[in-house]
Amino acid sequence: MIPRRIAVLILSLAIILVFFCSFLIDMSENNDNVNTGVRVLKSMLDSPTLRALSVPEEHHDRQLVFIGDVHGMYDKLLELVDKLNFETTPEMELVFLGDFITKGPDSTKVLDWMIKHEGRVHFVLGNNEFSVIMGALDMGLLESKMLNNEQGHDVTGTFKKSHAELAQQLNPSHYTYLFKNAAVVLEFDMEKTRQRFIAVHAGILPQDYDFERRHVILKSDVFSILNMKFVNEENSMETSREKQTKHWKRWYKLWEKELDNHHTKEQITILYGHDAKKGLNLRKYTKGLDSACVKGGKLSAMHYMYDPHSNSYKETLVEV
Ligand SMILES: [Mn+2]
């Protein structure tokens, strides 16, 4: 039996997918399409349905590998999956932490590879995937300020010409894939060991997690989840890519403090990318895996595998 919450999420996703596909089929330029585009984007930004998906444990020989920002570095990706023996390890699943396209040379090859391995590949959206999707919908939207979401972020502010150019190169099957699987947070619930892995592109806050019901309930908006680096300690609903005043802290510091104080029986680990400037950033509860491979750095991944002796999933850093 599929839990009801997940069924509702799947149904909502299916509705949004049908909605978007019908939009793709008729890409002729008219105001209806602009309105549809605005509605799709607004639903992504504001609706809770796309926000968090739970992936329950199926069997404990499952292996999970969380991969930092690939940014179109296809050769690096191949090198990594080779090192992981992905092709010959059927119980291994990959989780891309967003920003797997844009900036590097081979974004479409990366997407094609992910589609080819769809059953064993998961991803969360990054700010760059989101910008490319904006570019696909309509350039005209970007001039309008219709897309500013409820918390007043200028979601068009991070949009660049390169996003529009890549949006032109992607084909309908790329978009169908992105929308069918679109989530901004993935939770991996390892029931046997009571470990919980939360995958997110930029960051997430303790207020987005319901400690009693033991799952993510996003209160932060989607733009924050895809972009945050700092959070205002005096008002934790405010996040930013930059440090604004001395009261702004790196978002993960809130988790490190919260989880040390919280007597939760579960072991929560948050895996994220996005912060190439900071680079590899491994802490007790949070693991930053963007090592700037598009700028000549490494491509970093965290591999979790069940260890019967300790009855827990053990982590191993894998880099190329
Ligand atoms: Mn990013």
What is the domain-level CATH number for residue 67?
A: 3.60.21.10
Cα-to-centroid distance, 298 and ligand 1 (Å): 16
Q: Which residues contact 296 (CB under 8 A, 6 or more apart)?
A: none
Query: Is residue 73 a contact partner of residue 106, using CB atoms and an 8 Å limit?
Result: yes
Cα-to-centroid distance, 242 and ligand 1 (Å): 13
Cα-to-centroid distance, 109 and ligand 1 (Å): 19
> What pTM value is reported for the model?
0.84
133 within some domain: no
pLDDT in the model for residue 319: 98
Q: Which residues contact 185 (CB under 8 A, 6 or more apart)?
A: 51, 52, 53, 124, 198, 199, 200, 204, 208, 216, 218, 225
pLDDT in the model for residue 190: 86
67 within some domain: yes
Cα-to-centroid distance, 62 and ligand 1 (Å): 28
Indicate the SS3 state at residue 53.
strand
Q: Looking at the 3D structure of the chain, how many domains does it have?
A: 1
Cα-to-centroid distance, 241 and ligand 1 (Å): 10
Which structural domain, as residue segments, surrounds residue 67? 53-125+183-319
pLDDT in tens, 120-176: 999 999 999 988 987 877 655 555 444 545 555 666 667 788 888 899 899 989 988
d(Cα 276, Cα 87) in Å, to the nearest integer? Answer: 28
pLDDT in the model for residue 157: 67
254 within some domain: yes
Query: Is residue 192 a contact partner of residue 115, using CB atoms and an 8 Å limit?
Result: no
Cα-to-centroid distance, 288 and ligand 1 (Å): 12
Q: Which stretches in the chain have pLDDT values below 70?
A: 1-58, 138-157, 263-264
Whose CA is closest to 250, among 235, 270, 230? 230
Cα-to-centroid distance, 51 and ligand 1 (Å): 17
Cα-to-centroid distance, 252 and ligand 1 (Å): 16
151 within some domain: no
| Structure tokens, 77 | 């990706």
Indicate the SS3 state at residue 278.
coil
d(Cα 271, Cα 200) in Å, to the nearest integer? Answer: 6
| Structure tokens, 240 | 């930013």
d(Cα 174, Cα 167) in Å, to the nearest integer? Answer: 10
100 within some domain: yes
pLDDT in tens, 238-248: 899 988 889 99
76 within some domain: yes
d(Cα 130, Cα 53) in Å, to the nearest integer? Answer: 17
69 within some domain: yes
166 within some domain: no
pLDDT in the model for residue 54: 67
Cα-to-centroid distance, 219 and ligand 1 (Å): 20
